[in-house]
Amino acid sequence: MSLPMTTTDPTKEVSIRMGTEGPASLPQGTVMSRFDKTCAEHGDKPAIHTDNGSGGWKTWTWNQYRADVDKFAKALCSIGFKAHDSVNIIGFNAPAWFISNMGAIAAGGVAAGIYTTNLPEACKYVSAHSKAKVVVVEGKKQLDKYLAIQKDLKDLKALVVYGEPVPTGINSKVPVYHFDDFIELGNSIDDSTLVERKEAQKPGHCCTLIYTSGTTGNPKAVMISNDNLTWTSSMMLSTISALTPEDCLVSYLPLSHIAAQMLDLHCPMVTGSQVFFAKPDALRGSLGATLKAVRPTVFFGVPRVWEKIYEKMQEVAKVNNKSFIKRNVGAWAKGKASKFNEMAQYGGSNGSPMMFGLAKKILIKIRKALGLDRCIACFTGAAPIERKVLDYFSSINIPILELFGQSECTGPHTTNTPTNWKIGTCGRPLPGTESKIDPNTGELCYRGRHIFMGYMYMNDKTTETIDEEGWLHSGDVAKFDDDNDPNIVSPSGFMSITGRIKELIITAGGENIPPVLIENEFKLAMPALANCMVIGDNRKFLTIVLCLHVEMNDDGSPTNKLTGVALDVAKQIGSTATTTQEAQACAKFEKYFNDGMNVANAQTTSRAQRVAKFTLLDTDFTEPTGELTPTLKLKRSVAAKNHSVAIEAMYA
């Protein structure tokens, strides 16, 4: 009896979507067979590094890493953890996160990360839905969430704390272990038990759950199989120059997200490359120092990370009182790099601009200052990135390679590569995959061995997303630069995302409006803007709410104090405003916004896409205030609700 291609039951096995030739026909595999193979080949070489608190690094070799993974897996077995049971992990990236994740898989179970920003109710949903037997938490802050909700988690057997000592005097219905003590429980389990658990695993078994952050409702649990992870990581690395055990990356993005798991956990497992863990305050300022200390050879940053670096570089350029000659030499070098990277697109080999070698020597100083002088591939994804940011980094000889993916395709589906890219696109499909554009809706559909198993316990949602022919319906409106050729069955050109089907605004006149394209034009026309959102569903005309760049509190919530580019713009237009409220009352900012709106409207393709009114909000969209997901995607419904008064005033 043949196995199904999809399932919503985490205990079931699915059939692998094998091809008859090429990359899609590569042998099937499991995560643990890949892990054990890498440990056998590179056992005494360094695998993971974490800050030792004294200015250096504490290092695990691949053999030491595997030993701790096996200990954790046997500890799970010792408390009654069975095949297909789940472990939840909530905390910042650390060796304990990796070991817990891999230990759960080694024991035949399923690992699920939880965003550290989740409130207790959101944690309860994930842990109850996944029937978590063990939850691994970082420190007291995350432990307190589970002490408050554990009475509602009937499957919970243990809480495990890493990063801090277990607090004294806690009241818990289940044992609370420190991570180091927990893994010692495995000493009572014979090695043969773990061998049996590993051998029982199949490529089509679920081993990872990715809970989509979602823009509405409860998150869906994306079921990822062993083969999804092993095949997709191999395909991703096939697009980059051969990596070695000497290559390294910095782990700092949330490991509950598929992009971080794929790049930090699974890709290094293919090549034996090294992972350095950043400090927990990486996104609040320490990432720069870590990059300079590690000098990674591969780096992934969500657009906001690249934008922050860009903004910082602009500020530094303003305060550096360079001589006329140095400024002109720098501009000359940047011009040469921009030209080179323009010529190098599409896999081009058109040579280099004259004296580009000298320009590189000048620009390497900037790359070293950023800690990116050794990088052979710098990626971005998860949200749109502004063209001005791409152009800037291209000018300092750091081409940023955009990729497109989803949790539902185990991370990437299309990617630009170091030898084949097109600025402003998300690159070409991974080898061994198929793509198509729905002729009626413009929706991107694709299939291959990277397609997920299904949404756990959600049959209807699964059949809505994966059709009977195995095509995943992405929900994204896209175009390929070769999809106008009728002779091409599966487009393989460079892909661009033009919007989300669910995000399309349908006006009172029935016009379909892609808001992202309009919002990008507004941000391009007005650099002072950090965010903006177009409104117009069932309305007679479009409006937009604007957010200036403001300072953030330590918890990531916004203040009303202007910062960076917003302050620079204020000076340029002759405004004395230093807060959002002052900008709201400032005639010069009013003119700045009106002029910017006119520029943006001039780029639209129809009158229906023109914005009629704007309003400046007194705050920015952020994750703590609920308008952004952990990967900084805009939750339009939440933003509209939070700022409904300002929005309705534009239609009054």
Contacts 24+ apart (CB under 8 A), 20-29: 22/431, 22/432, 23/235, 23/238, 23/431, 23/432, 24/432, 24/433, 24/448, 24/449, 26/231, 26/234, 26/432, 28/203, 28/204, 28/227, 28/230, 28/231, 29/203, 29/226, 29/227, 29/230, 29/231
Which of 213-222, 323-332, 550-559 tops mean pLDDT?
Answer: 550-559
| pLDDT confidence of residue 39 | 97
Domains of the chain: 30-201+240-281 (3.40.50.980), 298-500 (2.30.38.10), 505-651 (3.30.300.30)
Q: What is the pLDDT of residue 347?
A: 64
What is the 3-state secondary structure of 204-241?
Answer: CEEEEEEECCCCCCCCCEEEEEHHHHHHHHHHHHHCCC
pLDDT for residue 629: 81
Return the structure tokens found at 223: 């079921």
Annotate 562-631 with three-state secondary structure.
ECHHHHHHHHHCCCCCCEHHHHHCCHHHHHHHHHHHHHHHCCCCCHHHCEEEEEECCCCCCCCCCCECCC
Task: For residue 582, name the pLDDT band (cuts at 50, 70, 90).
Answer: very high
Confidence band of 633 (pLDDT split at 50, 70, 90): confident
Specify the pLDDT at position 607.
Answer: 83
Asked if the model's pLDDT at residue 470 lies above 70, the reply is yes
With bands split at pLDDT 50, 70 and 90, how would you rate the model's confidence at 324? Answer: low
* Average pLDDT estimate for 225-230: 98
Provide the pLDDT confidence category of residue 492 given band limits of 50, 70 and 90: confident
**What is the band of 642 on the pLDDT scale with cuts at 50, 70, 90?**
very high
Average pLDDT over residues 143-172: 97
Q: pLDDT of 589-632, one tens digit each?
A: 999 999 999 999 999 877 889 999 999 999 999 988 889 887 77
Integer Cα distance of 434 and 22 in angstroms? 13
Q: What is the pLDDT of residue 274?
A: 98
Which of 85-89, 115-119, 181-185, 481-485 has the weakest average pLDDT?
Answer: 481-485
- CA–CA distance, 261 with 265 (Å, rounded to integer): 5
Q: Which helix (H) or strand (E) holds 147?
A: helix 139-149
Strand partners, 114: 90
What was the pLDDT predicted at 72? Answer: 99
Band the pLDDT of 234: cuts 50, 70, 90: very high
SS3 assignment for 234-262: HHHHHCCCCCCCCCEEEECCCCCCHHHHH
What's residue 243's pLDDT? 84
**Number of CB atoms found within 10 A of residue 387's CB:** 13
- For the chain, give the mean pLDDT: 91
Model confidence at 284, pLDDT cuts 50, 70, 90, reads confident
State which amino acid sits at residue 438.
D
Q: Check whether 451 has a pLDDT greater than 70.
A: yes
Residue 355 has pLDDT above 80, yes or no: no
Query: Where residue 322 falls among pLDDT bands split at 50, 70, 90?
Result: low
Cβ partners under 8 Å of residue 351, min gap 6: 343
pLDDT of residue 37: 96
Mean pLDDT of 280-289: 89
Longest dimension (CA), the chain: 76
- In this prediction the pTM is 0.85
- As a whole number, mean pLDDT of residues 113-123 equals 92
- Of the listed ranges 78-92, 202-216, 485-499, 606-620, the least confidently predicted one is 485-499
pLDDT band for position 372 (cuts 50, 70, 90): very high
How much is the pLDDT for 117? Answer: 86
Token pair belonging to 583 = 């900008």
pLDDT tens-place string over residues 179-224: 999 999 999 999 999 999 999 999 999 999 999 865 556 889 999 9
Share of the chain above pLDDT 70, in %: 92
| pLDDT reported for residue 144 | 97
pLDDT band at 326 (very low <50, low <70, confident <90, very high): low
Q: Is 139 helix (H, G, I), strand (E, B) or coil?
A: helix
pLDDT at 176: 98
CA–centroid distance for 498 within its chain: 19
pLDDT band at 349 (very low <50, low <70, confident <90, very high): low
What is the Cα gyration radius of the chain? 25
Assign 134 to helix, strand or coil.
strand
Between CA 62 and CA 69 the distance in angstroms is: 10
Residue 283 or 87, more confident: 87
